[in-house]
Structure 1
Amino acid sequence: MNGRRVTAADVARSIGVSRATVGYVLNDTPGTRISPETRDRVLQAAARLGYQPNTVAQALARGRSKIILIVLPDWPIEFSLRTQLDEAARVLDEAGYATITYTHHESEHAQPLWKLVEPEVVVGLIPFTPEDVRSIRAAGISRITPDPDEHLDIGLMPAVLAGPQLQVRHLASRGHRKLAFAATPDKRLSHLNAIRRRATERQAADLGLELLEAREIDYRDDNLAEVVHAWLAAGVTGVVAFNDDIAGTVVGTAVRAQISVPGDLAVIGHDNKPVASYFAPTISSVGVDNVGFGRWTAEQALHLAAGRPVSAGFPEPAVFLFERESTA
């Protein structure tokens, strides 16, 4: 066929039958009166010509694409997010659905992917903005999760706040009364950084602890030792880090400056990445149930796509303390 796709019309012309007859045979349409001989001729011609069904067209005709679009915030795809996505994709695959992930940039020049594909459900890992909801619905997609009508705020979600709260409580349990927050310099994470910092401030205030103003910790900064020494001079003995990468940078800086960890400065990270357990000294961290959250995300999509039962609302926060050498 000169390199082009073989169509049902090509099959019909090759054996002198109608396009409708070929369609009935290839789609195994019930209730049609087609002789066994004609059916065999159609199937043999399709095999000879190398006909392959246009699955996209078939899905659109059925109104079922079996595609779930997961929209990612413009965050680095690191350990926690990757674990969550892997579990969501696994659950959806077992249910017969393909997963497409798409990073939604704030200053976007390309068309949003929900306008270019035909997903059955659009899933946001964080709540969609009203503008996004209007755009998704304008593309003819009505199945959206989280439910836009619930007007969720990521900054108020217990699952997001529980980690920083546990970080502060752990340092308080070790006797630390003056803390510092080590922030990420990654501007893509500025909103999440602010949420975790506020959660840290509120938990510290509730426990009667003092929390210094947040400082960005960039591993490329040659003056990090000065930051750590300034913390010590101000009486800081515990550091709440935005994540394990930031915690590792603080610990590494302290060790190179001959500051004892945790003797002079205790540090706790967030996410419980593998690096936390093989860093030296090992880094205490708070881990979130990313597998459970990924499974819940897939279940929400399957509820909208196939009517599967699912619990309402975001899952209860499941966070775990992994105490290691940096706070022991």
Structure 2
Amino acid sequence: MPEPGASRRATAVDVAREAGVSRATVGFVLNRTEGQTISESTRERVLEAAQRLGYRPNSAARTLRSGRSRLVLLVLPDWPIDAAGLRDYLETVESALAEHDYCLVTQTRPTGGRGRPLWEALNPDLVHGITPFSADDVASMRRCGVLEIVPDPVDPEPVDLSVAVSRGPRLQVEHLYACGHRDLAYVTHRTARPAFLVDARYRAAQEAARSLGLPPLRHRYVDHRDGSADRAVREWREAGVTGVAAFNDDAAAVVVGAAVRAGIDVPGQLAVIGHDDTLPAAVFVPGLSTVRIDTTALGRSFAALVLHRLDGRPLPPRASLEDAVLVRRESTRR
């Protein structure tokens, strides 16, 4: 028996007693069972009683009863949690899935997939990867009973990374071009990761330059601690480079700082544009032009895809919004 005064986990029976309804009604309301003729007032009474008692469903029992864990596992590459607004993205996904009684779990797996994957311990209903899974990973998921895998290993569709990868770099290059710059460079901070995103954005910037008839972009890795940024801006100045597109705002800030120390006017002699519209871009002096990505809209789209795969919910039409937006500030203004 529990010790006197010890807290006891509220059960569905407690909720039913508190709300004055049957145990079955509580189950129908909390599980959002369709096809039931339960009045709105009764539904609200059950939900209020559950909240008042601090009721939380027993996930293990629910999994045994329904055969579903209501867990969605999102496997991320070795990616900083603040990169490209990832935190806002994940919070949006988590909130949208919670509205339908799903719980989002994330796992960051280093390059090469070292470490035990969480799908072996959690039995998620769906596993989603930013990039396609290896054959060994897919086999492991199948052994664990995972039924929904995205990207689909049997009929894989290209993962749409266009907003995070190609649209921003194209906007960067087109903006520098519109400002009159014809000899451009591309810069990445040495600590930037994941590598696939660095490579993909650089390729997108190269393609944008090629489509405008510009010469190939010079790609440099810089670090604010070793003088590489100072050397880069001097070399660019001697080579006639007048515009720099940066992988992110950190790299842009490093370049602008090095240019100012070298007596190079920004943007008069060297225009610099970042990516992601982080706080430093707005407060840096001079303010950094950058690209803003609507990570909240991307999060809603991801949640809609998950619910479509798991519950058959219709995919909403793609919103006619600008997923990547150019933000003009002092670092590129004439």
For the criterion TM > 0.5, the same-fold answer is: yes
Q: Name the CA shift for 1:28/1:292 in 2 (closer, same or farther; >3 Å).
A: closer
Q: Which moved more, 1:67-76 or 1:117-126?
A: 117-126
1:137-175 deviations in whole A, cap 9, x for unaligned?
A: 222111122333443455x84332111111100000000
Q: Confirm or deny: 8 A CA contact 2:184 2:218 kept in the other structure.
A: no
Which runs of structure 2 are paired with 1:1-328 in the superposition (5 Å)?
Answer: 1=1, 54-78=58-82, 79-153=84-158, 157-159=161-163, 160-186=165-191, 188-310=193-315, 318-328=323-333
Normalising by structure 1, we get a TM-score of 0.79
Q: Kindly, what percent of the aligned residue pairs are identical?
A: 41
- After superposing the two structures, state which structure 1 stretch, 296-305 or 173-182, moved more: 296-305
SS at match of 1:327: coil
Contact 2:209 2:217 in 1 (8 A): no
Q: Is the 8 A contact 2:126 2:310 kept in 1?
A: yes
Deviation at 1:258, TM superposition (A): 1.9
Following TM superposition, by how much is the alpha carbon of 1:314 offset from its aligned partner in structure 2, in angstroms?
12
- Between the two proteins, the alignment pairs up a number of residues equal to 291
Structure 1 residues 315, 139: closer, same or farther in 2, change over 3 A?
farther
Q: Confirm or deny: 8 A CA contact 2:77 2:194 kept in the other structure.
A: no
- Measured in 1, the distance between the counterparts of 2:310 and 2:320 equals 20
User: Counterpart of 2:272 in 1: which secondary structure?
Assistant: strand
1:230-271, CA deviations, whole angstroms, 9 ceiling, x for partnerless residues?
Answer: 011100000010011111111111112221110110001111
Instruction: Indicate the structure (1 or 2) with the bigger Cα radius of gyration.
Output: 1
Q: Name the aligned partner's letter for residue 59 of structure 2.
A: T
**Which residue identity does 1:158 align to in structure 2?**
S
1:313 Cα deviation after fit: 9.8
- Rounded Cα–Cα distance in structure 2 between residues aligned with 1:212 and 1:91: 40
Q: How high is the TM-score relative to the length of structure 2?
A: 0.78
* Cα distance in structure 2, aligned partners of 1:114 and 1:314: 32
Between stretches 144-153 and 209-218, larger displacement belongs to: 144-153
- Once residues 187 and 319 of structure 1 are traced to their aligned partners in structure 2, the CA distance between those partners, rounded to angstroms, is 20
Structure 1 residues 66-75 or 173-182, which shifts more? 66-75
Contact 1:228 1:254 in 2 (8 A): yes
User: Looking at both structures, which has the greater relative contact order when contacts are Cα pairs under 8 Å and sequence separation is at least 6?
Assistant: 1
Instruction: Letter of the 2:221 partner, please give it.
Output: E
Distance, in Å, in 1 between the alignment partners of 2:120 and 2:321 is 33
For the aligned residues, what is the CA RMSD? 3.2
